[in-house]
Amino acid sequence: MAFDKKKFLNRFIEEARKHLTSLSNGLVALEHQPDDTELINTLFRGAHTIKGSSNMLNLTEVSNFAHQIENKLSGIRDGSTAVTKPIIDVLLQAVDHLTLLIDAAEQEKQGPAADEALTTALAAEDAQEGSIMLKETGETTAQDRRISFRQEKDIIVIKAEKLDALIQLVTGLYSMNQSLETCYKETGIIANLIEQLQISGRESVLPYKTQQLINSLGIQSEKLKEILSRDRHTVSTLNAELRDLLFELRLVPISLVFDKLPRVVRELSDNFKKRINFTMSGEETELDKKIVDMLDESLIQIVRNAIDHGIESIDERGKNGKSSEGNISLSASYEHGMCVITITDDGAGIDVEKLLEKAVSRGKMTISAAEEIRRNPTSEDLCDLIFTPGLSSRDIITDVSGRGVGMDIVRENIINHLKGSVSILTQAHVGTIFTITLPINTAIMNTTMIKTGLLTIALPSHALYEVVQMEAAEIIQVVNRTAIRLREQIIPIIHLDEIMKQGTLVDSSKKPFFLIVRSGSGFVAILADDVLSQENSLIYSLPAHIQKTPWVAGCIITGTYSIIHLLNTRQLVRLAQQDHTIQPAEQKMHKEAIRILVVDDSISTRDIEKSILESHGYDVDVAADGAIALKMAREVVYGAVVTDIEMPNMDGFTLTKNLRKEEKYHQTPIILVSSLDSEADKMKGISSGADAYIIKAAFNQDKLVETIHSLIN
């Protein structure tokens, strides 16, 4: 029987690609660990395996070139060739060429000829003679559109498109299963009606034949109900197992993206003349293949920015007392049913000031908005700045940076397409942390179903921070919006009937539910009549004509083929943080010289207090903690200060004491607003120098305004 090469080719390609990834990452590691004997042996075995397997399949080009790499690694193993940067450069270039040959073999085409300089360098014994000019790398390549999984001793290769189609079929079965559940409930209603008819028949005189027909109908109804009960349970179990198995098959390790990055970091650090120590963890974390495909470009862009903008030059790090080698770490893990990816660097931090200056100069932001961010930069503010096309902290445009066109890719892929989130924490001269939160798969999500009037809506369970039930009387009015008091915060309420324009009001006779949703550092309370259930739901994309609806991220199709909208909680929190204040012109003119400083670490609380005071004509600045507030108070003279007590960096008591030490604040009204309501806390407030103490539990806008008015006048 003739040898059938095609039968074994796919298996060889899959295994070869794994060895190529190991070779690429291993060579980068070898540069820093030249004496690691086990690593050298592993690299040698990888090249040797590719050579032998390709030779068996008569892939002469692949086999011969793999043999050249093997020879070079053999020299390193026996000590005749030293591990130097030029040698590693040559071997990495050789792995790139071997990858091209294997790609050509997969398509059963002739592979490209190796560059003469490369073959000469591989054959050379001297390190310098083996040095060649590397091609520019770091660009992303198309992901392999295949998924492999192991079954006993065989590797089966499935095209991802076929698996996608299979998942769509299972999605349809899931909807049919819900429909079956609805049918079962309907048979229960029919059975009850027949039972009532039987009772009515016994109480009245009906023809014997009619009573017999009713009894037969009852028996058949019970049989149908029993069959549906059994079938719905069986179908539900089988459907769930099949769905879970298919989604597991779509899961691939995030190492498919991570494994590219050591090579990228090595080459970029060479380009930027910087020394980088790059570490990774959590490579085994699994995600949907579609998510992994979209992560590639975004992670490379963030790491590139960390090297270019974050990590300082060797000289700068020395001046700042840092080691010459910058550190970048990449990690992935599961948290609360989501995948969390963290990229950390110990560089200079994000130059927020420079970004704000450029945003203002290019008309992308007002001076007052920039000043607000300058004083209290939040993660959302940083994301908006960094993701704005055309903004860069670079002073000059070069071939690799300064155009401000890179990070908007992150927003497009992570936030818009994958419905994930990005948060940023940065500190000057300390470094920056990017945290990406993503669903594990693109089609199914744990959702919480809520009811508002006649409207049923879903929200992602991972965004749900807390559920509380309060009397309607506990809702407070804040200018032209409503809010609730919850421990340390005043949280604005979102009325879904207004947002969704359904005209279905919440039932005022019931004690309403408030679903506290968190996005970044902001909170919002979603008002609902009832919390119905929490379940895994298949998420469908919105039709093209409503995809730009900001409040909706997708939809769920029920067993009765009705549509439930999935809320975009990030947009709802942003909506709540917008300023809805209307400032009466006559009051503004009367009090335009009075400027008030509001201090609170809760964005929601300080925004609401700001809205209240601005609606009564005051100019208001805000600060996120006492330390920021003290700095602002020394630069600007405020007519009054309204401050929380429990805050990071500097609490309200300490802020009050420090302000009283300043001559210009000896007589300035200072009002403490806190959830601390003990007599001891109130006495501590008085002794620190405060003029008034307002308890958040009894907070209302009139009390705040009246207190300030009485102290100022």
Model pLDDT, residue 432: 93
CA separation for the pair 692, 713 (Å, rounded): 14
Alpha-carbon span 665 to 684, nearest angstrom: 19
Mean pLDDT of 572-596: 56
Question: How does pLDDT run across 379-395, given as a tens digit for each residue?
Answer: 777 887 888 766 666 55
Mean pLDDT for 215-226 is 86
Q: Under a CB-based contact definition with an 8 Å cutoff, are residues 611 and 580 in contact?
A: yes
CATH number for 318: 3.30.565.10
Do 84 and 113 share a domain, yes or no? yes
Q: Tell me: do 629 and 541 sit in the same domain.
A: no
What does the pLDDT read at residue 328? 96
Residues 239 and 264 in one domain: no
Q: Which of 143-152, 603-612, 618-627, 672-681 has the highest mean pLDDT?
A: 618-627
What CA–CA distance (Å, rounded) separates 588 from 594?
Answer: 10
In this structure, what are the phi and psi dihedrals at residue 457, rounded to the nearest 5 degrees? -135, 150
pLDDT for position 277: 93
Tell me the pLDDT tens digit for each residue of 416-473: 778 788 888 888 889 999 999 988 877 677 889 998 888 888 988 888 888 988 877 6
Nearest CA to 625 out of 651, 604, 657, 606 is that of: 651
**126 and 27, same domain (yes or no):** yes
Output the domain CATH number for residue 14: 1.20.120.160
From 252, 277, 311, give the residue that closes a domain. Answer: 252
pLDDT band for position 596 (cuts 50, 70, 90) = very high
Q: Crossing angle for the helix pair 5-32 and 37-56, nearest 10 degrees?
A: 160
Q: Are residues 293 and 402 in the same domain?
A: yes
Q: Are residues 606 and 556 in the same domain?
A: no
Residue 593's pLDDT is what? 61
Q: State the pLDDT at residue 547.
A: 64
Share of the chain above pLDDT 70, in %: 84
Indicate if 181 and 119 belong to the same structural domain.
no
Indicate whether 170 and 313 sit together in one domain.
no
- pLDDT 10s digits, 491-528: 888 888 777 765 555 556 678 889 988 876 678 888 88
Q: For residues 347 and 373, state if they share a domain.
A: yes
Q: b/e map of 245-264 (b: 16 or more CB within 10 Å)?
A: ebbebbbbbbbbbbbbbbbb
Cα–Cα distance measured from residue 269 to residue 515, given in angstroms and rounded to the nearest whole number: 47
pLDDT at residue 158, as a whole number: 67
Q: Is residue 492 part of a domain?
A: yes
- Helix, coil or strand: residue 52: helix
Is residue 77 a part of any domain in this protein? yes
Q: Which of 252, 283, 310 is the last residue of a domain?
A: 252
In a domain, 52, yes or no: yes
pLDDT band at residue 362 using 50, 70 and 90 as cut-offs: confident
For residues 283-296, give the mean pLDDT: 88
Residue 370 belongs to a domain: yes
| CATH classification of the domain holding 697 | 3.40.50.2300
Mark which of 200, 225, 252 sits at the end of a domain. Answer: 252
pLDDT > 50? residue 19: yes
Structure tokens at 489: 């915060």
Q: Do both 311 and 385 map to the same domain?
A: yes
Residue 425 within a domain: yes
pTM for this predicted structure? 0.66
Q: Which of 545, 457, 444 is nearest to 500 (CA)?
A: 457
Tell me which residue of 124, 134, 401 sits closest to 266, measured CA to CA. Answer: 134
Q: Report yes or no on 142 lying in a domain.
A: no
Average pLDDT over residues 257-276: 89
On whether both 655 and 606 belong to a single domain, the answer is yes
Range of the domain at 332: 254-439
255 membership: H or E segment, kind and range: helix 255-258
Q: Report the CATH number at residue 533.
A: 2.40.50.180
**13 and 97 together in one domain:** yes
Contact 515, 459 (CB under 8 A): yes
Q: How confident is the model at residue 5 (pLDDT cuts 50, 70, 90)?
A: low
**In a domain? residue 151:** no
What domain count does the chain have? 5
Evaluate whether residue 371 is within a structural domain. yes
